[in-house]
Amino acid sequence: MAIHIREEANRCLNCKKPMCKAACPVETPIPEIIQLFKENRTLEAGEMLFENNPMSVICAMVCNHEAQCFGHCVLGRKGTPVQFYDIEKYISDTYLDRMVVSPKEKNGKNVAVIGSGPAGMTGAIVLARNGYDVTIFEERCYIGGMLYYGIPEFRLPKSILHRYQDQMVKMGIHIRPNTTISDALNIETLFRDGYSAVMACTGVWRPKTLGIVGESLPNVHFGISYLTNPSAFQLGENVAIIGMGNVAMDVARTALRHGARQVTMYARGKHIAASSEEVQYAQLDGAETVFGKMIDHITPEGPVFKTSIFDENDKVIGYEEELEAVKADATIIAVSQGPKDRLLLTTEGLKKAENGMLQVDENFMTTVPGVFAAGDVVTGSYTVVSAVRQAKIAAEGIMKYLSSENV
Ligand SMILES: Cc1cc2nc3c(=O)[nH]c(=O)nc-3n(C[C@H](O)[C@H](O)[C@H](O)COP(=O)(O)OP(=O)(O)OC[C@H]3O[C@@H](n4cnc5c(N)ncnc54)[C@H](O)[C@@H]3O)c2cc1C
Ligand code: SF4
């Protein structure tokens, strides 16, 4: 691998106006990193990566590179783009355990971060670097959010999150696992106990339902419930998946690794939400895709569909009357997630935006002064790098807020 990434680095043209960087949501300084790497200054390159994006090693593994750096590299116009994400993975994986971290001198201000997904982790790291005393409250036992409980081990090893936790603790970040805010404790309690600001990064964990008969049958499950702990489920050999987004792809690939022999994903239309890379991997693993099937209801024997009718642009314009029953030992519904709304229900003044997510201003402050938010709880189910981008802005917003005279 080292030889390959060195060759990749040597192919980079060190562009003056790098398209790769412009296409990265956190504007990773790609040419500068590559130059440092070529000069064997790997740890300096790692420091630059982490300074800009504390989730660098994770983004190197799970970002949609086709739509970002790789897909926009100028060399791709006539040939093969530079595979920067492999270079990034090598550098940031090497750097993760070797970064020199020690708690920063504290500035006397405490910040509470709710949720330890990529948004919460990024926010906590940025604030701790700037001298804030940060405590993360996490409902589950391990940090990482969807990185730990959603994205499967074969795409993102869970050990990386444990390595992060070690470094974050060394930075002086406190972590309270198995602690839900909006249960025994709430946002009001946090302010009572001396936290000057709160950053809510609670993600989207309520599976979206289809509103059809059969969703509560014993052999019907939601995608995110399954991925949280696949070994707890006995799916049988023949699995039907409703949906064809990235979560459905992860469900299909996980089920095939846990004993399922026949896994079929069904989509109502012909255009699907999953990236072409994820679809190709799911197909390589043996999953099948069936388009033009609208779920009507689910029985103990499996899902029942109506067939879609398409116009000349492949748009669904209706459904045939006839029903088609498909045999399946288990049916898994994977049609995205929404927020749980628990913070909204327990925090006076917190409001929803039109998209149903937490309403924030340009600094990512919510409608309650001192309460900021970032990640999927603001955008709806989206991406790791977007969560990082927002968390950086929200952390800056908190620092600005706490340095203003009225606090
Ligand atoms: C199966 C799956 C695969 C994905 N694959 C990719 C991919 O390949 N690439 C990509 O870029 N994105 C992917 N995503 C999306 C990505 O994981 C999310 O966009 C990202 O994790 C959002 O980060 P977050 O920090 O906002 O929320 P989350 O990661 O959801 O973290 C929220 C955290 O808050 C905690 N929490 C919630 N409520 C409370 C509370 N009241 N009190 C205390 N803690 C609380 C949760 O337990 C969780 O740890 C995937 C998502 C899923 C579900
Ligand atoms: S666009 Fe490609 S060649 Fe240019 S700096 Fe980025 S990676 Fe290097």
**Ligand located closest to 13 CA:** 2
Cα separation, 299 vs 240, in Å, equals 12
Cα separation, 75 vs 82, in Å, equals 7
HSE toward the beta carbon, residue 48, CA cutoff 13 A: 18
* Contact indicator for 136, 174 with CB cutoff of 8 Å: yes
Do 327 and 234 share a structural domain? yes
User: From the CB of 181, is ligand 1 less than 6 Å away?
Assistant: yes
Q: Which of 56, 71, 96 is the last residue of a domain?
A: 96
The answer to the question of residue 390 being in a domain is: yes
Do 330 and 240 share a structural domain? yes
If you take atom 39 of ligand 1, which residue's CA is the nearest one?
202
Q: Which atom of ligand 2 is nearest to the CA of 74?
A: 1
Is pLDDT at 356 greater than 70 in this prediction?
yes
State which of 73, 78, 87 you would mutate to test the pocket of ligand 2, scoring each by most atoms of that ligand within 8 A of its C-beta.
73
Q: Which atom of ligand 2 is nearest to the CA of 21?
A: 6
The answer to the question of residue 342 being in a domain is: no
The answer to the question of residue 277 being in a domain is: yes
The answer to the question of residue 146 being in a domain is: yes
User: From the CB of 68, is ligand 1 less than 6 Å away?
Assistant: no
If you take atom 10 of ligand 1, which residue's CA is the nearest one?
383
Which pLDDT value is given to residue 73? 97
Mean pLDDT, rounded, of the chain: 95
Cα separation, 343 vs 310, in Å, equals 42
If you take atom 4 of ligand 2, which residue's CA is the nearest one?
15
Residues 6+ apart with CB under 8 A from 176: 135, 136, 137, 138
What spacing in Å lies between the alpha carbon of 38 and ligand 2's midpoint? 14
Do 259 and 225 share a structural domain? yes
Q: Which of 336, 367, 387 is the last residue of a domain?
A: 336
If you take atom 41 of ligand 1, which residue's CA is the nearest one?
181
State which of 37, 74, 86, 87 you would mutate to test the pocket of ligand 2, scoring each by most atoms of that ligand within 8 A of its C-beta.
74
What number of other Cβ atoms are within 10 A of residue 16's Cβ?
6
Do 329 and 224 share a structural domain? yes
Do 77 and 190 share a structural domain? no
The answer to the question of residue 225 being in a domain is: yes
If you take atom 8 of ligand 2, which residue's CA is the nearest one?
12
Is pLDDT at 405 greater than 70 in this prediction?
no
Q: Which atom of ligand 2 is nearest to the CA of 72?
A: 1
Do 87 and 10 share a structural domain? yes
Range of the domain at 140: 110-206+349-403
What are the pLDDT digits (tens) for 107-147? 999 999 999 999 999 999 999 999 999 999 999 999 999 99
Instruction: For residue 72, name the pLDDT band (cuts at 50, 70, 90).
Output: very high
User: From the CB of 129, is ligand 1 less than 6 Å away?
Assistant: no
Cα separation, 186 vs 384, in Å, equals 26
* Contact indicator for 11, 78 with CB cutoff of 8 Å: no
Q: Which atom of ligand 1 is nearest to the CA of 340?
A: 38
**Ligand located closest to 29 CA:** 2
What spacing in Å lies between the alpha carbon of 275 and ligand 2's midpoint? 23
Structure tokens, 75: 């060399």
Do 330 and 230 share a structural domain? yes
Do 198 and 212 share a structural domain? no
Q: How many domains, in total, are found in the chain?
A: 3
The answer to the question of residue 344 being in a domain is: no
Cα separation, 243 vs 293, in Å, equals 10
Do 302 and 221 share a structural domain? yes
Instruction: For residue 273, name the pLDDT band (cuts at 50, 70, 90).
Output: confident
User: From the CB of 376, is ligand 1 less than 6 Å away?
Assistant: yes
What are the pLDDT digits (tens) for 214-267? 999 999 999 999 999 999 999 999 999 999 999 999 999 999 999 999 999 999
What's this model's pTM, rounded to 2 decimal places? Answer: 0.96
The answer to the question of residue 343 being in a domain is: no
Query: Mean pLDDT over residues 175-189, rounded?
Result: 96
State which of 7, 10, 30 you would mutate to test the pocket of ligand 2, scoring each by most atoms of that ligand within 8 A of its C-beta.
30
Do 121 and 61 share a structural domain? no
Do 81 and 49 share a structural domain? yes
Query: Mean pLDDT over residues 178-192, rounded?
Result: 96
The answer to the question of residue 322 being in a domain is: yes
What is the domain-level CATH number for residue 48? 1.10.1060.10
Residues with CB under 6 A from ligand 2: 12-15, 18-20, 30-31, 73-75, 82, 84
What is the domain-level CATH number for residue 361? 3.50.50.60
What spacing in Å lies between the alpha carbon of 146 and ligand 1's midpoint? 4
Cα separation, 110 vs 25, in Å, equals 29
Which pLDDT value is given to residue 406? 54
